[in-house]
């Protein structure tokens, strides 16, 4: 009898262990519809809690060139599938690279710096961000990361703690994106002389990025960040600045609408922090600062986080929506099961719908209290699921979050295994570092 009881206990223990393992695995997949507690992920957006605390935010062509940058949406699926297995990066002839898909847009960050090119580290030494609740914040470490071995990321780049000013880095990034069939670089951008808290002005890098993008037959669009005092007046000035200074470059991206118009596209991050009435001054035909039907007209794509943003975006005069966050379930906009409804809303209001997909999410090296928002890559299955969800709604384009936002672990840039005395960095194994879109 004792032997029977011992065997029963062992079997029961193994069964409990199996159940726990399954629960941990399911956590990485996090269902669209969270059923416990508050809407999942909204605590990371303080604006959506009490509208008080704002966490750090991320961050003329010939007819032939225009035709080259316009791809039928049906091509997204075929080229996305071809991107599932990306060859290890080596010296390649242009003929060996897959064709770029101009309906695949990747968010790109040029804010990194190191002592060799910038005199100091930028962004790699990102501070650990405190939780807004002091009682929670006191349980976590403070201070800045200390590169090169200790960086503000849970992954470690194959190129090391690089500078975005390094010409070799810029070209290498272009080649990696072209190798993944990405056609459009959505460049994180602040007006000249401005930057995020951890970086420095990077507008002077735009000519080099455009030139290298053109070398690989890529296009560049601008992802306008929430710079200080952003409003209708300043936006009018910077749109004019961007188009006047960069609009004649052959790599400057333009999108052909269903009505046949060919216009530059601008992503506007954190657009919901500005009142619809202010945007309407710039983006509606009757606005006092209107760019409509002028040389500075364009397609302005707003960030949708909450469901209520749909009506605000429409009243503002925007031309479309994107969802940015690569965390399924994090917000209304980033939840895959809402994309069909969003696409229908866009179709009925003549708006573009550009859902954002990503390989995963982890930011606990800069937000150690945010582990509940982590999304495991599951050896590429998470990315594959997101792509499939986007393709099912037949979007106007697909945006990828991100090429190199290392702080939030959404990058598809090459990463390598690395271990230090204090940190074991994540990597893409069992895939090789060259499979930077690790499906």
Question: pLDDT, tens digit, for every residue of 99-125?
Answer: 999 999 999 999 999 999 999 999 999
In this predicted structure, the answer to whether residue 220 has a pLDDT above a threshold of 60 is yes
pLDDT number for residue 14 = 58
pLDDT number for residue 5 = 53
Model confidence band, residue 64 (pLDDT cutoffs 50, 70, 90): very low
Lowest mean pLDDT among 31-45, 225-239, 260-274, 320-334: 31-45
Q: What average pLDDT is seen over the chain?
A: 85
In this predicted structure, the answer to whether residue 178 has a pLDDT above a threshold of 80 is yes
**Which residue, 194, 186, 270, 172, is CA-closest to 221?**
186
Distance, CA of 48 to CA of 69 (rounded, Å) = 37
Model confidence band, residue 15 (pLDDT cutoffs 50, 70, 90): low
Please identify, in words, the CATH class of the domain defined by 102-425.
Answer: alpha beta
Sign of torsion, CA 86 89 90 92? positive
Domain boundaries of the chain, sorted by first residue: 102-425
**DSSP code for 220:** E
**DSSP code for 148:** T
Lowest mean pLDDT among 37-46, 230-239, 347-356: 37-46
pLDDT number for residue 431 = 83
Strand 262-268 versus strand 254-256 pairing type = antiparallel
ω before 315 within 30° of 0 (cis)? no
Q: What is the mean pLDDT of residues 286-305?
A: 98
pLDDT in tens, 390-413: 999 999 999 999 999 999 999 999
Identify whether the C-beta of residue 278 lies closer than 8 Å to the C-beta of residue 284.
no
* Residue 86 vs residues 74, 192, 391: alpha-carbon distances, Å: 21, 35, 20
Would you state the structure tokens that stand for residue 111, as one six-digit string?
């804010």
ω before 51 within 30° of 0 (cis)? no
Alpha helices in 357-416, H assignment, sequence order = 381-392
* Secondary structure string (H, E, C) spanning 36-70: CCCCCCHHHCHHHHCCCCCCCCCCCCCHHHHHHCC
pLDDT number for residue 34 = 34
Q: What is the mean pLDDT of residues 38-50?
A: 37
Identify whether the C-beta of residue 209 lies closer than 8 Å to the C-beta of residue 168.
no
Model confidence band, residue 272 (pLDDT cutoffs 50, 70, 90): very high
Would you state the structure tokens that stand for residue 86, as one six-digit string?
């990306």
Distance, CA of 114 to CA of 118 (rounded, Å) = 5
How far apart, in Å, do the first and last CA atoms of the chain sit? 51
pLDDT number for residue 83 = 40
Q: Which long-range contacts (CB under 8 A, 24 or more apart) does 288-293 make?
A: 289/232, 289/233, 289/236, 291/236, 291/239, 292/317
Please give the residue that has the higher pLDDT: either 16 or 62: 16
In this predicted structure, the answer to whether residue 308 has a pLDDT above a threshold of 80 is yes
């Amino acid at each position: 009898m004792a032997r029977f009881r011992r065997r029963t206990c062992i079997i029961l223990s193994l069964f409990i262990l199996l159940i726990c393992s399954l629960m941990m695995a399911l956590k990485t997949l996090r269902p669209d519809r969270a059923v416990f507690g508050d809407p999942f992920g909204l605590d990371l957006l303080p604006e959506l809690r009490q509208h008080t605390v704002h966490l750090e935010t991320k961050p003329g062509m010939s007819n032939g060139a225009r035709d080259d940058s316009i791809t039928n949406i049906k091509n997204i699926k075929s080229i996305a599938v071809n991107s599932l297995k990306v060859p290890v990066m080596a010296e390649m002839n242009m003929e060996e690279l897959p064709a770029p898909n101009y309906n695949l847009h990747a968010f790109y960050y040029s804010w990194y710096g190191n002592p060799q090119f910038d005199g100091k580290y930028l962004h790699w030494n990102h501070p650990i961000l405190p939780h807004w609740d002091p009682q929670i914040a006191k349980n976590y470490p403070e201070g800045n990361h200390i590169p090169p071995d200790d960086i503000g990321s849970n992954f470690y780049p194959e190129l090391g703690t690089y500078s975005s000013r390094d010409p070799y880095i810029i070209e290498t990034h272009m080649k990696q994106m072209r190798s993944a069939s990405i056609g459009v670089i959505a460049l994180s951008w602040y007006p000249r002389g401005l930057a995020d808290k951890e970086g420095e002005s990077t507008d002077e890098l735009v000519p080099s990025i455009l030139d290298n993008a053109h070398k690989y037959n890529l296009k560049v669009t601008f992802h306008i960040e929430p710079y200080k005092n952003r409003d209708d007046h300043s936006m009018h000035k910077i749109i004019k600045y961007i188009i006047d200074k960069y609009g004649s470059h052959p790599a400057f991206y333009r999108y052909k609408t269903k009505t046949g118009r060919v216009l530059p596209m601008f992503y506007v991050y954190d657009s919901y922090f500005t009142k619809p009435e202010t945007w309407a001054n710039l983006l509606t035909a009757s606005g006092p600062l209107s760019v409509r039907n002028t040389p500075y007209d364009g397609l302005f794509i707003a960030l949708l986080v909450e469901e209520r943003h749909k009506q605000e975006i429409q009243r503002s005069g925007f031309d479309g929506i994107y969802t940015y966050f690569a965390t399924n379930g994090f917000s209304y906009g980033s939840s895959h099961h809402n994309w069909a409804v969003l696409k229908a809303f866009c179709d009925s209001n003549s708006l573009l719908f550009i859902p954002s997909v990503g390989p995963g999410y982890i930011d606990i090296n800069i937000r150690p209290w945010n582990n509940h928002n982590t999304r495991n890559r599951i050896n590429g299955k998470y990315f594959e699921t997101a792509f499939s969800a986007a393709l099912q709604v037949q979007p106007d384009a697909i945006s990828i979050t991100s090429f190199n936002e290392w702080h939030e672990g959404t990058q598809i840039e090459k990463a390598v295994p690395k271990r230090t005395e204090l940190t074991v960095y994540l990597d893409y194994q069992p895939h090789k570092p060259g499979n930077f879109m690790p499906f």
